[in-house]
Structure 1
Amino acid sequence: MVHASLGGTGLRDTDVQKALLEALGPDGTLVVPAFTPENSFTSRAYKELTDGMSEREEREFRESRPPFEPDATPCPTMGVLAECVRTTPGAVRSGHPHTSFAGLGPRAAELLGDHDPHCLLGERSPLARLYAADAQVLLFRVGFEVCTAFHLAEYRLRPTPPKRTYHGVEGEKGNWTPYEDITLYDGDFGAIGERLPRDLMTKREMAGKAVLLLGMREAVDQGGVQMSGYRHGLT
C-alpha cells in the first residue's frame, strides 16, 4: 500500500507506477488510498470547497453533489499516483463512498472487494485484509501523518472508540445518506510513527524527502499499543 507525493521530483506518475509494479513482480499487488473526503459535509476537504459560501449557496452545492461511483469518481486529494492507479485499465476499486482503495495486480479483487459502506477503515474494509495478507506500507515522500494503516489500530482499541454520524452522497445526486462508524482521529499519527522502532523500517531518500518501507502488521500492532496508553475517552 503506497502513499505518495510526487511534487518536486520530476517523476511522472506512470513511471512511478510502472517501477512499483516491476518491483512487486507478477505476484504482487499495488494498492493506493482512493479516498473522496469531499463527499462528506463534515470533512476538511468539503469545508474548504464551501468556504465563504452563503447558507443558500451551500445548500445548492449539497443538492448538486453527484453520488460516489467506484468506476468514475476521481480522488483528487489523494495525489497523482492514486489517480493513475485508479484510472489504469484493469484496476479494481473498493466501494466505500469516503474511503475507497484502488489496486492493480492478481490479488486486487480479493483485497478490495466487499468493502462495507458503513465501515470506513475497520475489520470490514480492505485494511483488515491487507493486514491479514502481511502487506507492506510505502510512505513515498510523505510522513506518518497520512499512514492510513494506523486507523485499523483505532478500531481494535478496547474499549471501542465512540461512534459518530457520517454522510455521503449515494444512489442519486444530492442524496446524502447517513451511517454510523467510530470517530476517526489522525492528529497523533505523526508522533506515533516517530516513536516506532527504527529497525522496523527501511529508510531511503528521494528528492530531499524521506521514503519509508515498513510492515503493516508491525505498524498497526505497535500503533495500537501506543494509542491504548492515552486514547481512552477521546471524543
Structure 2
Amino acid sequence: MLYIYIYIYIYIKVLVNSSLSKLGWVCGGAQTVITALMNVVGSDGTLVMPAHSGEWSDPAQWCNPPVPKEWIQTIYDNMPAFDPEISPTRGMGRISELFRTLPSTIRSNHPHVSFSANGREAMYIIENHPLTPQLGMDSPLGKMYTLKAKVLLLGVGYNSCTSFHLSESLIDEMPKERMGAAIFENGDRCWKWFEDYEYDTEDFMLIGKEFENNYNVQKGMVGNAECTLFEMKDGVDFAKSWLIKHRFTVR
C-alpha cells in the first residue's frame, strides 16, 4: 500500500502537469494527489492545471483517429459549443480531469487549451483567456509567468511541459496555422475560425535536458515517479533562447 506524501516546498503559485499511472498505486487515486497538492500549496496559494480539450479542434486535422471527409461539415454544423463547466479534457490525465470538477475550481473559457485553477489568484489567472494567441502573455500561462509561478512535472517529462509553449508565442518567426472551434458568441453557438501559432512539443525534451544543466532544477521521487520542480520564468526564458538558436536558426 502506498500513501502519497509530497514533501516538496512549493511556493504559492504552481502549474502542475501530471500522470497518475506513473506514481504507482495510490490510496485514493487522483483525489489523494489533488488533496496533497492543495495542502502543500496552502490556503494562500494557487494550484493550476491544464484542462485542454482537443476534441473541440478542427475535425479536418484529427488523426487519432481521423474522420471521413464527408463527416467534417456535419461536425462543423453540430459540434456543441465548448462549455467550461461540462466539456471534458482530453489527454490531460485523471488528476487534471478530476481537478477541473472540484466545486472551488474555475476554468478558463478557451475551447482548445483551457486551464483550471483553484486558490487566491485563480480568477486573475483564468479570466479573459484570449482566443488567440491562446498560449501567449495574456493567457493563463503569461499571467503565471508574471506572478513568478513554479512548474511541477509530476511523473511526466518535458514533452508535457505546457509552459514551454509560452516561449514559442514570444518568437516572431513562429509559423501560424488556421484553427477552429465551436464556441458561444453573443449567446449563440457558432463555429469560429481563428489563426494562432503552430505549437510543437517535438524538441521540448532536448530543451529540458539542457535547461537542467544550466539552472537550479529540483528532482525528487513521488511514489514511483520522478518529478521535476523549477521556476517557470527560468524555464520559459531558457526555452525561448534555445528555440531561437536551434529551431529558428536562419539557414
Indicate if the aligned counterparts of 2:48 and 2:116 stay in contact, CA closer than 8 A. yes
Q: What SS is found at the alignment partner of 1:70? A: coil
Distance 1:74 1:215, change over 3 A: same
2:60, 2:97 → 1: CA distance? 20
Q: What does residue range 126-205 of structure 1 map to in structure 2 within 5 Å?
A: 126-157=140-171, 159-171=172-184, 175-198=190-213, 199-205=215-221
Superposition RMSD on alpha carbons, in Å?
2.0
Deviations 1:89-138, CA, capped at 9 Å, x for gaps: 02111111111000111110011111111221001201110001110100
Q: Could you tell me the TM-score, scaled by structure 1's length?
A: 0.90
- What's the CA shift for 1:26? 1.1
With the length of structure 2 as denominator, give the TM-score of the two structures. 0.84
The match for 1:74 is 88
Structure 1 window deviating more from structure 2 (141-150 vs 223-232): it is 223-232
Residue of structure 2 equivalent to 1:96: 110
5 Å-filtered alignment, 1:47-86, equals 47-49=63-65, 51=66, 53-86=67-100
1:206 aligns to 2:222 (yes or no):
yes
Hey, what's the Cα distance between the residues in 1 that align with 2:223 and 2:50? 23
Offset of residue 184 of structure 1: 1.2
For 1:40, the equivalent position in structure 2 comes to: 57
**Is the deviation greater in 65-74 or in 124-133?**
65-74
Report the alpha carbon displacement of residue 149 of structure 1 after superposing the two structures with TM. Answer: 0.7
2:124: which partner in 1?
110
User: Any gaps of 5 or more consecutive residues in structure 2?
Assistant: 1-14
Large movers: runs of 4+ above 4 Å:
none
What one-letter code is carried by the residue in structure 2 that aligns with 1:148?
T
* Number of the residue aligned with 1:29: 46
Corresponding residue for residue 137 of structure 2: 123
Q: CA separation in 2, counterparts of 1:208 and 1:85?
A: 21
Alpha-carbon separation, structure 2, partners of 1:233 and 1:93: 37
Which AA in structure 2 matches 1:223?
Answer: A
CA spacing shift, 1:162–1:114, aligned 2, 3 Å: same
The answer as to 2:244 corresponding to 1:228 is yes
Q: CA deviation at 1:177?
A: 1.2
Q: Can you list the C-alpha shifts for 1:62-101, whole angstroms capped at 9, x where unaligned?
A: 4432111111111032111111111000211111111100
